[in-house]
């Protein structure tokens, strides 16, 4: 199928709206992507036609909802190429997924064990491991990065040892766009017997991840980053590791049998899915994957790279503008500042021009501390953005610079 951005944009109702009497230019996709009509339709269809609780009902609506929900799980399994559908745990998102693993490993990690995280992690992939170390006496160590925003793999090699029990790294940096060498990171960790969790929230919208090929132990994703709804995501885990972890929450659905003397837990995936889930969200996530796969991830990657190259060239025309994150392999994310200006001020003026960008530390304060800056302006692109919108962004930044300097 030929890539037709004009046709694709018609699928996204929000792209037709105006902000401050100007056409919306939405460049905050790393925070959340927009939702196509096909996914909105799946949400409406659920509430119009078969809204019911799942798994426990014998009535028709419950059975229909259960079938649709479990079909979505299978779509997710097939998209990411997990071995079994029950290795896909449906969660509220990446943060929830990471915390399930961090909580579970509290009983599997001992004092003096070492936990490695990369220097470019989102707070959601730092704080839970700090809490784990506080609970267990394990030691947190950081894999440093270069000024270009690339991990120093020789330093990673030095940090790995027989004491390393866990390694945590994002697949793609939300602040810099860097695509990390995940396969190499996993292979080296496994050689010392360490378990690896990869935060895939920023990779999943741009890269069709093959979990079996990566041989990753845990992988996390949020649906709202890839044209799906908020409040739903996945934790993938290898079956043997998920079986080792204790449940994260207690309640309905995650049990096999309950008495006042003892409770036994359900098999995967239900062991980690206590309570009524986001049924509609899970179904809509499946619809979002259908939508993106229909376009094709290779086509998406090619087009987004074109946007990245063009936007980088155009922004660097602006005097005093510096881009943070210049890795050779990166997704369509550009974090920048203009000398002498605060990112918040630039972002506020861009908003008045109808341009949505993100400003601040992007939940990556250690990265900003590394560069000795308070934050950046981040423009993050998706396959429904256009070269013309890049031009609007560049002219908007030029205007902000002229107004503020």
Catalytic residue among 169, 227, 280, 363: 363
Between CA 191 and CA 390 the distance in angstroms is 44
DSSP per-residue codes, 230-280 = SS-EEEEE-HHHHHHSPPSS-SSSSEEEE-SS-EEEPPTTGGG--SS--HH
164-170 sheet: strands from edge to edge:
88-91, 233-237, 218-222, 195-199, 164-170, 114-118, 139-143
133 is catalytic: no
Tell the residue number behind the tokens 């919108």, with chain if given: 389
> 63: which 2 tokens?
């059975």
Residue 148 to residues 144, 176, 326, 335, Cα–Cα distance (Å) = 12, 9, 5, 12
234 Cβ contact partners less than 8 Å away, ≥ 6 residues apart: 76, 80, 88, 89, 90, 91, 97, 220, 221
Between CA 331 and CA 328 the distance in angstroms is 10
Nearest Cα to 34, choosing from 280, 332, 383? 383
Between CA 111 and CA 103 the distance in angstroms is 16
Alpha carbon 381 to its chain centroid, in Å, reads 14
Tell the residue number behind the tokens 């005097």, with chain if given: 319
Between CA 114 and CA 242 the distance in angstroms is 21
Between CA 138 and CA 136 the distance in angstroms is 5
Let me know: does 299 contact 288? Beta carbons within 8 Å.
no
Residues taking part in catalysis: 363
């Amino acid at each position: 199928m030929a890539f037709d951005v004009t046709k694709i944009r018609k699928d996204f109702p929000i792209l037709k709206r105006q902000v401050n009497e100007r056409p919306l230019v939405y460049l905050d996709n790393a925070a959340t992507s927009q939702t196509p009509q096909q996914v909105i339709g799946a949400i409406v269809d659920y509430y119009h036609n078969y809204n019911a609780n799942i798994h426990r009902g014998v009535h028709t609506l419950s059975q229909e909802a259960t079938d649709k929900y479990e079909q979505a799980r299978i779509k997710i399994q097939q998209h990411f190429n997990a071995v079994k559908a029950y290795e896909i745990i449906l969660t509220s998102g990446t943060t929830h997924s990471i915390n399930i693993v961090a909580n579970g490993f509290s009983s599997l990690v001992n004092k003096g064990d070492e936990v490695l995280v990369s220097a470019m992690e989102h707070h959601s992939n730092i704080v839970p491991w700090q809490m784990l170390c506080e609970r267990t006496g394990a030691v947190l160590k950081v894999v440093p990065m270069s000024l270009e925003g690339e991990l120093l793999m020789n330093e990673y090699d030095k940090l790995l040892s027989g004491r390393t029990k866990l390694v945590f790294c994002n697949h793609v940096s939300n602040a810099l766009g860097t695509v990390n060498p995940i396969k190499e990171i996993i292979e080296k960790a496994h050689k010392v017997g360490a378990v690896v969790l990869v935060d895939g929230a920023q990779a999943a919208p741009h890269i069709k991840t093959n979990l079996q090929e990566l041989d990753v132990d845990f992988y996390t994703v949020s649906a709202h980053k890839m044209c799906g709804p908020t409040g739903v995501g996945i934790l993938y885990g290898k079956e043997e590791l998920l079986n080792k972890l204790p449940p994260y929450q207690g309640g309905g659905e995650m049990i096999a049998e309950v008495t006042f003397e003892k409770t036994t837990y359900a098999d995967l995936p239900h062991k980690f899915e206590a309570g009524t889930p986001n049924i509609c969200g899970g179904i809509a996530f499946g619809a979002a994957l259908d939508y993106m796969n229909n376009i094709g991830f290779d086509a998406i990657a090619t087009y987004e790279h074109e946007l990245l190259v063009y936007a980088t060239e155009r922004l660097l025309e602006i005097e005093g503008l510096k881009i943070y994150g210049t890795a050779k392999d990166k997704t369509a994310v550009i974090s920048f500042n203009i000398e002498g200006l605060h990112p918040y001020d630039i972002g506020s003026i861009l908003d008045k021009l109808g341009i949505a960008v993100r400003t601040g530390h992007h939940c990556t304060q250690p990265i900003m501390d590394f560069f000795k800056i308070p934050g950046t302006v981040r423009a993050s692109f998706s396959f429904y953005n256009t070269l013309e919108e890049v031009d609007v962004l560049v002219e908007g930044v030029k205007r902000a610079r002229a107004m503020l300097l």
